[in-house]
Structure 1
Amino acid sequence: MAGNRVTPKTMGRLRLASQGLLGEGFGSVADAVRWMTASQAQDLLAAMWAAGARVPGAGLSDVRAAIDDGSVVRSWPMRGTLHFVAPEDLRWMLEVTADRLNKSISARHRELDITRADIEKCRDIALERISGGGPVSRNELFSVFDAAGQPTTGQRGVHILGTLCRHAWLVQGPLAGNQQLLVAFDDWIPVSRKLERQEAIAEFMVRYFTSHGPATLRDFSWWTQIPLTEVRAVFKAVRGSLQELEYGGTSFWLSPETASLLDAGVPGPRSMLLLPGFDEFLLGYQDRSLVLAPEHAGKIVPGGNGVFKKTVVAGGEVIGTWALQGKGAAAAVVPELFDETKPLGPGAQAALRKAAERYLAFLAS
């Protein structure tokens, strides 16, 4: 499929459609998270809005309930970064990605004096504490580690905890305020799917391109940190279930259903969305230049500090950032457009107000 009718904004709207951000969305928070395959979630409130934005009428309480009942889990399935995933998918994702990540941080573990024996000791300590006392906060668990002669200062505790979660011994469970408590993986997720490595990578790939397409093989390799050579080898088995879209001399892949929108008419040319920082619409790709002009990238991540601002997305293009000012009834969404010399027209302003009302309603419910 050639992209001679396609513009960057069209590509952006195809991604919005793939991600459930245009049209009907999903029926539940769990459905949205499962569809997205994995959604970046190191900022918990941002991740909750990312899930809620894809479920019409969902409130913050709905996302919290999905976390509390285990129908959505939050762990480190890839890139050493927290993501929301469906519970039955977490174990096989970890089995695909954890070894490579463990090798990449082995030098840091040597610096922190973390050995395999230390990890196994902390595993036994943590599981014994949870078995006897139930879900535990990170701070309380670190106190237990410290008391057992396993120091947690200087990032040592964080690395131990991450390793215990990557080995599927622990997982973050129910919420206590705005913090998640730690639980035993097998108790919290009693049923996990089992996939062989090639089968797992193939599913990872198809689900990524279905939920994130159009995207490239390099995007997927970066997203999962699966080596590109292995990605290309497995891709041969699944390419028949995907649609190719050539754009700018590059092959992009997407689901046939999303590709059909090019004939039916890609929705959302006048859409206006207020997305959270770290949303997959921007973060889910190695190359973000299709939806974010490179000259504005620094305004999303000021100083390159790794903290992504919330984005205003108009018709598939990131056109600014936004912030929430005030609290309760006085709370208001304040946008900051990249180009103040091009003010929004009346229709876009109305759409922006509607998007702001939707976000405030989400927070209140």
Structure 2
Amino acid sequence: MPTHAGYADLYRFRQAAHALASPLESPTAVTDRLLAVQAQDFAAACWALGVRTADSSQADVIAALERGEIVRSWPMRGTLHFVPARELGWMLRVTTPRMITGLARRHRQLELEDDDFVRARDVVVAALTGGGSLGRTELMELWERKGIRTTGQRGYHLIYYLAQTGVICWGPPHRSQQSLVLLDEWAPDQRRLDGDEALGEFLLRYLAGHGPATLKDYVWWTKGTLAGAKAGLAIIRDRVTSFDLDGITYWMTAELADSTTPRAARPRSLHVLPGFDEYLLGYQDRSPVLAPEFADRVVPGGNGIFKPLIVSKGRIAGTWRRAANGTRVAIEAQPFMPLSTAEQSGFAAGVAAYGRFLGLRGEVA
């Protein structure tokens, strides 16, 4: 791997890491590769796995959730993610202390005391032990019956705290979302990683699914510390490599660098990605793939809602919107600049793939 590289190299390696250059065999394999896939928008997160999987369907993603191979929780940043079930425990041990400390003031505002969390936990454990599950509304109603107030965001923070501390996670599908289950029962085969070993694994897995990336990107992604990132880097130093681009050091796994040759890993020219996709959100600095002048087109007014993406030759080239109707789903491209003939063909192929994923006929509007 050269000491210096160009943006074409950055795009090529990232698309390979994200399984966009060569799709993987299952949604579970995609989650293993990326480690965490942002999933506050459930449907978008399902397509984030589907677009990276060969010939998959939304039913395949749901089946992986039903089997407990993938779970949905808050492993970092206070944001829901899909994660491999057996990895969640050690991830939480890395991120939970800082996340809980950061919520102390909000808990005081909500008049949530230590006893509230203990009582809420005891009620949940009693209700779910033995393979039980509850939807969010049902759990709130149960807490209220037990004298635990859930109004004014108290219920949300109780659920978040119990998930963050490894008591519960979102498990099998429940109506249009998921139900809550006990993590130890739903995913009992948890890996045991602690201390610097966990820090090293966290960084290595991030780079395997998101590299090349900077340490600042990783710190933002985990909401960890630069000191923790450097400690992790020291642990995995013989398994990663780096290059400089415009004076910035980018890191990736040695395996990615060795396996991704320019000829073998030439990515498809265009991808139709969901909103909140890791290809954009997985980094603190998004300017390498999204020109600053178009950022407002992806997140209008900086409102935190990321639109679905059109990616062409590694860069964000526009957004799209859909309208489902019966047996078809119509997708309208909203490119930043007019699409070339080749890009239009690639967009049509991506729309067709999205339709197949949903079990509908995908059409360009």
Equivalent pairs, count: 360
Is the counterpart of residue 358 in structure 1 residue 353 in structure 2?
A: yes
1:344-355 correspondence runs (5 A): 344-355=339-350
SS in 1 for 2:196: helix
Of 109, 112, 123 in structure 2, the residue corresponding to residue 111 of structure 1 is 109
Q: What residue is the counterpart of 1:96 in the other structure?
A: 94
In the alignment, what sits opposite 1:334? 332
Contact 1:10 1:316 in 2 (8 A): no
- Measured after TM superposition, the shift of residue 82 of structure 1 is 0.5
The equivalent position to 2:196 in structure 1, one of 179, 191, 198, is 198
Q: RMSD across aligned C-alpha pairs, in angstroms? A: 1.7
Specify whether residues 333 and 120 from structure 1 end up closer, same or farther in structure 2 by C-alpha distance, changes over 3 A only.
Answer: same
Report what 1:179 is aligned to: 177
* Partner SS, residue 287 of structure 1: coil
Match for residue 12 of structure 1? 11
Distance, in Å, in 1 between the alignment partners of 2:90 and 2:290 is 33
CA contact (8 A) 2:5 2:245 kept: no
Do the aligned partners of 1:10 and 1:266 also contact (CA within 8 Å) in 2? no
| Percent of aligned positions that are identical | 40
Give the equivalent residue in structure 2 for 1:142. 140
Aligned counterparts of 1:10 and 1:264: Cα–Cα separation in 2: 8
1:324 aligned partner: 322
User: What's 2:215 paired with?
Assistant: 217
Q: What amino acid is the match of 2:349?
A: K
2:44 counterpart of 1:46: yes
Measured in 2, the distance between the counterparts of 1:106 and 1:324 equals 40
Query: C-alpha displacement at 1:153, in angstroms?
Result: 1.0
Aligned partner of residue 356 in structure 2, secondary structure: helix
2:236 to 222, 235, 238: 238
Could you report, residue by residue, the CA deviation over 1:299-320 in whole angstroms, capped at 9, with x for unpaired residues? 1111111110000000101000
**3-state SS of 2:19 partner:** coil
SS at match of 1:326: strand
Relative CO higher for 1 or 2, CA cutoff 8 Å, sep ≥ 6?
Answer: 1
Contact 2:56–2:357 (CA<8 Å) still a contact in 1?
yes
CA distance in 2, matches of 1:330, 1:71: 30
Q: Deviations over 1:128-177 (max 9, x none)?
A: 12237921111011011112221111111000000011111111111022
**1:58 alignment partner in structure 2:** 56
Given the superposition, is the C-alpha separation of residues 234 and 241 from structure 1 closer, same or farther in structure 2, using an over 3 Å criterion? Answer: same
Q: CA deviation at 1:178?
A: 1.3
1:259, distance to aligned residue in structure 2 (A): 2.4
- Contact 2:3 2:243 (8 Å CA) reproduced: yes
Tell me how far 1:258 sits from its aligned partner.
2.9
Give the corresponding residue for 1:164. Answer: 162
Mapped to 2, the partners of 1:345 and 1:50 lie a distance apart of 25
* 1:292 aligned onto 2:287: no
User: Alignment partner of 1:277: what SS?
Assistant: coil
Q: Distance in 2 between matches of 1:223 and 1:270?
A: 26
TM-score calculated relative to the size of structure 1 = 0.94
Cα distance in 2 for residues equivalent to 1:22 and 1:199: 30
Q: Which amino acid aligns with 2:17?
A: S
SS of equivalent to 2:20: coil
Contact 2:20 2:267 in 1 (8 A): no
Contact 2:135 2:180 in 1 (8 A): yes
Partner amino acid, structure 1, of 2:183: F
1:208 partnered with 2:206: yes
Q: CA deviation at 1:256?
A: 2.4
* Match 1:35 to one of 14, 27, 33: 33
Task: Give the deviation of 1:281 after TM superposition.
Answer: 0.4
Task: After superposition, give the CA deviation of every residue in 1:93-122 in whole Å (9 maximum; x if it has no partner).
Answer: 000000100000110001101111110100
Deviations 1:269-321 (CA, angstroms, capped at 9, x unpaired): 65110000111100100000000001111111111111100000001010000
* Distance in 1, Cα, partners of 2:58 & 2:73: 20
Q: Does the aligned pair in 2 maintain the 1:171–1:184 contact within 8 Å?
A: yes
Amino acid at match of 2:125: L
Contact 1:292–1:318, Cα closer than 8 Å, also in 2: yes
Q: What amino acid is aligned across from residue 189 of structure 1 in structure 2?
A: A
